[in-house]
Structure 1
C-alpha cells in the first residue's frame, strides 16, 4: 500500500473511532456541547471549513483515481492477456484487488467524513433543542403554577363571596326579623295610642257630662238661694 492510501486508511480508522465515540448513548448532547465549546475548537474554527473542503476534494480525487484503477484492471483486454500468462493473471488480479480496496477505503472515508460533520451538526441542534425544551418546560411549569395560584385565589375569592352572600343573607334575615318585630311593636303602640285616645275621649265626654251636671246643680243652688229670702220675708 502506498503512502497516500495508508494515510487514507488511517484517516478511515480515525473516522470510525470518532463516529463510534459520537454515537455512545450515555453521553448526552449537552455534554458534547460542553466539549465542543472548548477553547481549542474556537481557535480551530477559522480553519475548519477550509480543512473540511480540502479533505473532501482530496478524497474525491483519490476516489476518482481508485475508480480509474478499477476500470483499468477490469477491462476485457487486460483479462484476456492475463489468461495467456498465469503470472500476469495473478498480477492483474492483485492490482484489481488493491484498486477495489482503495476504492472502498476512499469511498467509506468520504462517506464517514460527511456523516461526521452532519452528526456534529445534529448533536449541536439536539443540545439546542434540549436547552430550549428545558427552558420552555420551566416556563410552562411557571405558567402552570401561576394558573394554579390564580385558580386557588379565584376559589378563595369565590368562597369569600359565598360567605359574604351567606352573611348578607343572614343579616337580611335578621334585619327582616327586627323589622317585623318593630312593625309589631309599632302596631302595638298604635293600638295603645288608639286605646288611650278612646279613653281620653271617654274622659272628655265624662268631664263634659260632669260639667253640665255641675252647671245644673249650680243653677239649682242659685235658685234655692233666691227662694230662701222670699220665704223669710213672707214669714216676717
Structure 2
C-alpha cells in the first residue's frame, strides 16, 4: 500500500515539474512576444516618421527643380545635397520596412509557439486526469480484491 502512495506521489511530483517547465517556457514566450510588439511599434513609428521626412524632402526637391528650371539656373550644392539626402532616406525607409516585415514574422512565429504550448499543456492535463481516474479505478479494484481475500 505504501508503494502505491509513493508511486502516486512520484507521478504527481513529476507531472508538477513538467508543468512548471511548461509554464516557465510559456512565460518566456509571452515576454518575448511583448518585447517584439514594443519593438514592432517603435519600428513602425520610426518608419512613418522617416517616410514623412522623405516625402517632405522630395516635395522640397521637386519645388527647387521647378524653380531652377523656370529660372534657368544650375542646381546648387545645396540642392545636390538634398537629392543625396533624399536617396539616403529612401534607402533607410526600405531598410526599416524590411525590418518591420521580419519582426512581424518573428511575432507570428512566437504567437504560434505559444498557442502550440498552450494546446500541449491542455492535452497533458487531460491525459493526466484520465490516468488519475484510471489509477483510482484500479486502486478500487485492488482494494476490492484484497477485501475478498480477507473474508
Could you say which TM-score interval applies, normalised by the shorter chain?
0.3 to 0.5
Choose between structure 1 and 2 for higher RCO, CA contacts under 8 A separated by at least 6 residues. 2
Tell me the TM-score normalised to structure 2 length: 0.47
Tell me the TM-score normalised to structure 1 length: 0.32
